[in-house]
Each structure stands twice: as C-alpha cells, then as structure tokens.
Structure 1
Amino acid sequence: MQEPVSHDLSRRSIMTGLVAGALVVGLDPVSRTWVTAANAAGPFDAVPPLDGTLRTDAASLAAAADDFGHIISRTPLAVLEPGSVADVAKMVKFCRQRGIKVAARGQGHTTHGQAQVAGGLVIETGPLDGVQILADRAVVGGGTTWSALVQASLAQGLTPPTLTDYLGLSVGGTLSNGGLGGQIIHHGAQVDNVLELEVVTGKGDVLRCSPTQRKDLFDAVRSGLGQVGIITEAVVKLAPAPATVRRYNLYYPSVAALTAAQRAMCEDGRFDYLEGQIGIVEGGHTFLMEAVKYDATPADDTALIGDLTHTSVTIDDLTYWDFADRIGPIVDILKAIGEWQRPHPWLDSIVTGSSVNSLVTEALPQLTPDKVGLSAVILLYPIPTAKVKTPLLRLGAARELHEKYAFLFSLLRTSSPGSLDPAAMLALNKSFYNKSRLRGGGWYPVGSNPLTKPEWTLHFGPTYPSLALAKTKYDPTRTLTPGQGIF
C-alpha cells in the first residue's frame, strides 16, 4: 500500500506515490504519464508535499473511471485521497500549471461520467468529512454524507430542512447539483439552505463565500456542477427535527388526478413532505401520492385526508430516522445482489406545470415492463418555483414563463443483461428531454442525457452569462470538471 507523503523530504525529492514501486516526481506533459525517479529526464517540478495519498495503482484508477451509471468510463492518471484541504489546493495548482484536468468525486452517484476525467486527476472528497453542530447550523466537510450529517444533527434534536431520498450522497456533491427532495414544497432545495461555503477554485485558491462574501462565487458554486470550484466545507441550516412521521400513500386514477392533488396539497401546506410515484404493473400503471405529516397521530387523519379525492390509502408510522433513511436498507440489498453494479441510464427531467399531464401521459406507453423493467422507479412530484432561490438550479424555463409549478419527472432504471439495452434507454431519455424542452422543460443534470454545448447554454438560459463569467474569473484555464461538457 502506498504510504502518505513525508514532510521531512525536500520539495524536489518528495515521495507522493508509487508507480510499480518507484517514486513519483512529476508529470511528462508529452506522454501524459507520471514520471518516476528512475526514468525522470529533463526539468520536472516535484509533486508538492501532501498530507494524504496520491494513488496511481490500477484498482484506484479503475474505480475513479466508473460511476453509478456504469455507462461511461474515463480513466484518470491519478487519484488523490486528500489528507487536508491544502492537499486539494496544491494539486489543483499543480495540475493547472501542467494543463491537467481535475474532477472532484464524492460518492460517484452520477450516471454519465460527470465526475470522471480522462488522463487527469480525480480528487476523492470522502476524506474531507466531519460534522460540527452549532445551534441552528452545521459545519460539514464536503465529503460528508447526508446520512452522517442527519445522524449527528438528530443527536441534538435537529435536521437539515430538505433531504434527498437517498442519504448516502456527499454534501458537496448534492450542493454542486441542487439537492431535490419532498420537503422542497416548504424549504426549497438543499442548495437553498446553505449559509456559507469553503471552495477550492480552479486556480487552486481556498476561498470562503456566502450571500455577503464573494456572492458571485457562492452563486456559481451552488448548482454550478463543479465548474468553478470544489466544495470542501459547507455551513448548512438546521431545523427542529420531528420524532415521528405519519405517512399516507394515496392512490389516484391518472396523471392528471395525481398532479391536481399535488398542487392542492402544496397550496394549503397541510403536509410536510410530498412526492409522487408512477408504478409499473402488468397491463398499466398506478399513481401514488406519498404525503407525510410530522408528529401526526390517527386523530389527525380526518383533517389531513378526509376531504381528499384519492381512490384508496394506506397509512403507516415511522420514526423520523427510519423515514429519512428508508432507501438505505434497499440500497444495501441491491448492492448485495449485484443490481448496484449494472448500468443505470437514469432520466432526470424537469417538466413545466402546464405540460406535465400531457407529456407524462404521452410517455406512459413507453414505460412498460419490456422497455424499462418492472423494478423501475418513476418519480413525479411538484416543485413550487417560488421556493427555489438558487440561480443556477434551473427548472427549465418555468420561472421565466411565470409557471407556479415545475415537476421532477425521474425514471430510475436498471439495465438487465440480454433484455434491456442501455442505448435504447438513453434514446428514450433524449427523446423525452427534447419534447419537454420545447415546452419549457429542462434537465436535472445527474442523469444520463449528455448535453451539447449549445444545449448547456439553453439549459442555463439567462444565468449562463454569469456562470461563464465566474468560470473565466475562478477557473480561467478550464481545469475543473470537464466531464459535464459545459465549456
């Protein structure tokens, strides 16, 4: 195993990694390979001293060349396991000087190579963890998982206001994308609940930013898809946590009935959490509304659901932790049986409120067991546009079109060997995206739908100039996150 860097060695003879047992001293800009003391020729700058570990072994490179999608594979030259934020800054500067691209990787949960970089450096943010609870906020490392944050905050009777369905994601990763969840109806997305960030820019500078300090950087990093900085620390809001949740699974006869109920429930605010699902069954579909009320009891049922128009309902009670982590045990099973290692050509689409019923209904004939599998999960839930404040978290053109609601429409599929072709699934993603975009919709960019540069310009719409300006200011050599394909 490679040993951490020794700080007692000189800058020119520093040991930062092992290549077949040899010391790494620099990078050959022609062959794009790490140069060792045994084969070094010419004036190469030494890799800077590190607190962590720079890995170049085949297993580390293969892991960093993959992601949850298992569709795209780009092999880096090296993987950094940082021992400090300073390591991240040093290696970004080192790579920038040599024209080497850099990508940060949290839990690798993107599905189309977004956090990969061919012939570059992948920085694993997992070692940058840690949680400190301070009254109504938490200071967390960028590599901390939301699961770890929720467990630490619950010990103090607190919770982040908005949670993604799966808590095994990194804080820095979701804040770079957006962080959508069923509590968005009251609290906005996870990026809307950030108070301050520490960022390593594409220049290798360690900067703090907030709504009052370097606001341009703050707005470019949140939902900025890693284009201007790597999140190494975040200060996030906390709210009082409930002890229990009462969950109502309400069934409706159609897409239109489901979205009408969702809008009505958003309007009166009676529930704390709302998500919708479309189930795939032989011969058709089911339409489910998952509505949650914190700390409710059976005595509240009449007031909460007595006037709703569902066709049937099931009710259960859970602790808040069991509800928040409900996907975790399922993921453990999927990993154990090998499903986690199969291709996941996920569709993550934003649909305008005015087009949701027609677009989703039109898509239903394509959402059959033979085309997407019986195990596919289809999410459909409302996003009040006024609750999303972060400029780069795009809801298609819903806000510009003065739509009161947008909807997240996600098709979470696994490709099965010999039956479900990933290429056909990707084609379905692109087809739906194109139809939705023509009607003001957009894309939540963790899924499998690679966009062209013109499509990225359309994606960001009126916010693109500010992102481009921030890119020029904070990452002028375009060192960071090439896997998104934006610049």
Structure 2
Amino acid sequence: MDSHAITRASTDFGRMHRNVPSAVFRPPSTNSISAFIKLSYESVEPFPITARGHAHSLHGQAQAGNGVVIEMMSLNSGAINNENANSFGCSSEEKCYIDVGGGELWIDVLRKTLKHGLAPRSWTDYLYLTVGGTLSNGGISGQSFRHGPQISNVLELDVITGKGETQTCSRTNNSELFNAALGGLGQFGIITRARIILEKAPKMVRWVRLLYSDFSGFTRDQELLVSSHGGDGDKENEGFDYVEGFVMMADKNDGNSNWRSSSFQFPHHIATNNTILYCLELCKYYNDRSAKHHVDEELEGLMSKLHYIPRMMASKDVTYMAFLNRVRHGEIKLRSRGLWNVPHPWLCLFVPASRILEFHDVVFKGILSRNNTSGPLLVYPMKRSRWDDRMSAIVPNEEVFYSVGLLRSAVYDWEFYEEQNREICKACERRKLGVKMYLPYYTEESEWRRHFGAKWSVFLERKSRFDPRGILGTGQRIFPFPLLTSNLKSTALI
C-alpha cells in the first residue's frame, strides 16, 4: 500500500475534511476502471468508489472514506487505451472539436489546441483542473455569459456508469446519460472522454479594469454588457468577450487584502479610504497590430456608456495564453509564501439579478463587513439561456443571475469562516432570495431536495438507472451507502 497515495487521497483543496480511503486505484486504462466498478456493482457487499482528478473540491467530495479512490490523472492525461483522445475533427454541425480524456488538465488541453490555432471557448478561471471534474460541476468564468458554462460546450461523452458499463452519449444518442453526467456531481458515472467544442483562438487580449464606488452602478453596467451582447455569441467585434467583477473590502491591516493577484495598480488610498469598492474586469480579444486600432475604437465607444469612477481605469495587452493562465501566477506566489496549501472555506453561490442589491446589503455591507476577509470576492453575471435545463446543474430561475464566489483562505480558524458561510446561507434562505449553491456541499437530504427543487425526482430516477447501488460519488453525501431501491422510493415520497 502506497502511504503517500493514501495521504494524498485523504484530503482535497479545501483542506477542511479528511477521510482516509481503504485503497487508491491507479488504473492503467479506462477498461480497467469499468472492470473495477463492475466488481463492486456485482459484489454481495459493494464498496464506494470516487473518481479523483486534481482534487480541487472543498468539502471532501473527492474523498471516499472506507472506499476506493480512483486517481484519474494516472491515465497519462486520460489518453491510454483511448484512440480517440486528443484527436481533432469537425461535427456535422460544422463545429470543430477535440476529444480529450476525463483525467486531462485544461491547461494541457489549451496547449494542444493552440498549436492548431484553436481553443475551447468556455473556461474556468483556474486551468489546473481536470476535464471530468469541471464537467461534473459546470465550469464557469467570465466567458459564461457569452458561451455558457463548460457543460454547454460538449458534443459527446464516454461515461462509465455505476454498473461498470462504458457508454458513449450525446444530445441525440443516449441523451439521458449525457444530460445526467453534465453537472451531475459524479453521481451517474465517471467521465473518461469528452468531445469539446473549439473555436479559432485569438492571439491577444486587451485586459481592462474599472473601479466603482457604487454597487448599483457596478451591477447595472455588468448587466448592460452581458444583456446587450447579441445573437449566438459567435459574432466577431461585438461587445466584450469576458466580463467579471469583484468586490474589494478594505482590510484593517493592509487595505488591499482581497485584490485579485495581478500587476494592475490603482492608487493605494483608493482602497483604504473606502470601506468597499468594486472592480469591473473586461476583456476584448484580437489577433494582430492592425486589429489593435479597431479594438481601441470599439472600447472607447463601449466604455463611454459605463459609470465607473472617472480616471479609475487600467488596461494592458497580454497574450491569450497569459490571460487564461493568469491565476497560476498568483498560485506560484502563494506557494512560495506557504499560503496555498491552507484551508479554503469557499462559498460559491448563484444569486438572481433581481435580488443582488439586497444580497449585497445583507452579505457584503452586513455579515462580511464585521471582520477582515482574505481572498477574492467575485461577483459577475451569467445568462440562464446559455445553460441547458435538461442537464443536472442547478441555476436560479431568472435569465440573468450572478455568480458570487467568496474565495477565502484561512491560515488560522477556518471554522470561523465556515460558520460565517452558514450564516450567509441562512440569511439568504430567511429572506427568500432564491439563491442556489454552486459546488454544493449539503449534508441533509432535505437540503439536497430543496437544492434540486423540481429536478429532484429526475435526479432520483437517473440515480436508480445509472448507479442503482449508490457506488459512485459518495463524498457528495447526497445518498446513503449502499443505496437500496427502498431508499430511493422513500426519498421520492418525502
């Protein structure tokens, strides 16, 4: 038994929960994963199995206490014994794509596609995550308002179900499994291959940041930018390609503790003289020097409609790769200071646009203002129409809603932040703000039923169909293990 592998599989990025597995399985092929799951499924006493990618989960979701953790990255970037992995092509819909393994990191996908002048069109802010991991949750960032989350940019999957069956699925072939697996929190199968939509990759990015002192103006401008973007999101030279925002709360110690790491500079007194400021982060993609002039002209017209603090604008031009991989530089700095492998009591929420001002007053001006906070506080809008409601992922029932990410780190006393997160969730529930949790970590069945709402019965039916013994994804704590038919029936009746 590899003690280092056991130790590694006992924790995750959150570093708040520790569950020691019975064993760690490093599969030599996807066929071996299928055989291993089938062994558990056909056993008199099945054992729980959890697929572990880069283990960027926060509350033990990638752990399998008393079960087996499958290290997906051991598949040599997911390509072993899969002749389709890392192959390019175009579909009948005239969409270019790449087939990649579920254990492959997005940064490696980007490197491979850029060699062909192509790239996936939807991203996460951090690229050192596995394809299967983000597709099991959603995969969001500042491009989501335009192209939807990563789960909306997949043409086909290979999934190994809880019965040990390998099935190929798409929107038109075996669509029930396709929709279940995307955003399905690992409950219905392990994604071993994904066919990702590609587009022509830009070479350069104009990266802009604007400061606001008024939250209503900040959100009004964000909604203007994402709602005025026309059509199917594929037209060139139309609006911004990326829209994110974040909140800056002055720290009593250094005034800038939750700035997002970058070389952008604003006057230090701006952050210290105001309790809360807001930063709008925008990007426009382009290809060469001749296009740069047109970018300048378009940005001038677009920003003339915005209401940021006069002269509080900073911009720079960077390569497309440098922009997409921007968080990695912050990671390296934090690692050098011993501040990366610390507890991460994050809270990620989706808030309806109609209630975002109330959420701001309750959370940012209320709960969070009582104490210093360290780590980015993201606030940016997305569009429900870019999500496929047939998939398992849950979003608010409004066309425009906000992703709010309280991405805090805790060298000491992470329990305090977790308690604060519970206070925030209770306040949202008490005020009936219609908030949904992204990367959910509920522990009570009633909470999961409330989370899925009208989709709960569909979720149950899919579980009984694709993982009837509840072998997979036990770290999510949605269903008891082992899962019996009576469990599903009683749950459906509650």
- Where 1:238 maps in the other structure, the secondary structure is strand
Shift of the alpha carbon at 1:390? 4.5
Deviation per residue, 1:337-377 (Å, 9 max, x gap): 2212110000101111111111122212433494423xx10
Find out whether 1:275 has 2:244 as its counterpart: yes
Question: Higher relative contact order at CA 8 Å, sep ≥6: structure 1 or structure 2?
Answer: 2
Deviation per residue, 1:182-219 (Å, 9 max, x gap): 11111110000011100111111111111111111111
Shift of the alpha carbon at 1:322? 0.6
- Where 1:355 maps in the other structure, the secondary structure is helix
d(CA) in 1 for partners of 2:356 and 2:305? 24
Identity %: 33
Shift of the alpha carbon at 1:301? 3.0
d(CA) in 2 for partners of 1:380 and 1:436? 16
d(CA) in 2 for partners of 1:214 and 1:228? 13
Find out whether 1:65 has 2:60 as its counterpart: no
Pairing of 1:36-435 with structure 2 (within 5 A): 56-96=1-41, 97=43, 98-128=45-75, 129=77, 130=79, 131-135=86-90, 136-269=96-229, 270-282=239-251, 284-295=275-286, 296=292, 297-311=295-309, 312-364=312-364, 365-368=366-369, 370-373=371-374, 376-392=375-391, 394-396=393-395, 398-399=396-397, 403-417=398-412, 421-435=413-427
Matched letter for residue 439 of structure 1: L
Deviation per residue, 1:26-52 (Å, 9 max, x gap): xxxxxxxxxxxxxxxxxxxxxxxxxxx
Matched letter for residue 438 of structure 2: Y
Find out whether 1:463 has 2:463 as its counterpart: no
Deviation per residue, 1:51-74 (Å, 9 max, x gap): xxxxx3222111101000000111
d(CA) in 2 for partners of 1:459 and 1:180? 19
- 8 Å CA contact 2:394–2:452 kept in 1: the answer is no
Root-mean-square deviation (Å): 1.6
Shift of the alpha carbon at 1:304? 2.5
- Where 2:54 maps in the other structure, the secondary structure is coil
- 8 Å CA contact 1:246–1:315 kept in 2: the answer is yes
- 8 Å CA contact 2:367–2:424 kept in 1: the answer is no
Shift of the alpha carbon at 1:387? 1.1
Unaligned runs of 5+ in 2: 80-85, 91-95, 230-238, 252-273, 287-291, 480-494
- 8 Å CA contact 1:394–1:459 kept in 2: the answer is no
- 8 Å CA contact 2:179–2:392 kept in 1: the answer is no
Aligned to 2:489: none
Deviation per residue, 1:279-312 (Å, 9 max, x gap): 1224612101101111154333322212221112
- Where 1:414 maps in the other structure, the secondary structure is coil
d(CA) in 2 for partners of 1:280 and 1:153? 38
Shift of the alpha carbon at 1:393? 5.1
TM-score by length of 1: 0.83
- 8 Å CA contact 1:281–1:369 kept in 2: the answer is no
- 8 Å CA contact 1:191–1:223 kept in 2: the answer is yes
d(CA) in 2 for partners of 1:348 and 1:435? 15
d(CA) in 2 for partners of 1:394 and 1:350? 12
Shift of the alpha carbon at 1:422? 1.5
d(CA) in 2 for partners of 1:174 and 1:414? 21
Deviation per residue, 1:99-137 (Å, 9 max, x gap): 210000110001100111111000011133242232410
Task: Tell me which moved more, 427-436 or 140-149.
Answer: 427-436
Task: Tell me which moved more, 157-166 or 90-99.
Answer: 90-99
- 8 Å CA contact 2:249–2:373 kept in 1: the answer is no
Unaligned runs of 5+ in 1: 1-55
- 8 Å CA contact 1:395–1:406 kept in 2: the answer is no
d(CA) in 2 for partners of 1:378 and 1:453? 29
Shift of the alpha carbon at 1:257? 1.4
| Change over 3 Å in CA distance of 1:393–1:180 after alignment to 2 | farther
- Where 1:177 maps in the other structure, the secondary structure is coil
Shift of the alpha carbon at 1:171? 0.3
TM-score by length of 2: 0.82
Matched letter for residue 109 of structure 1: H
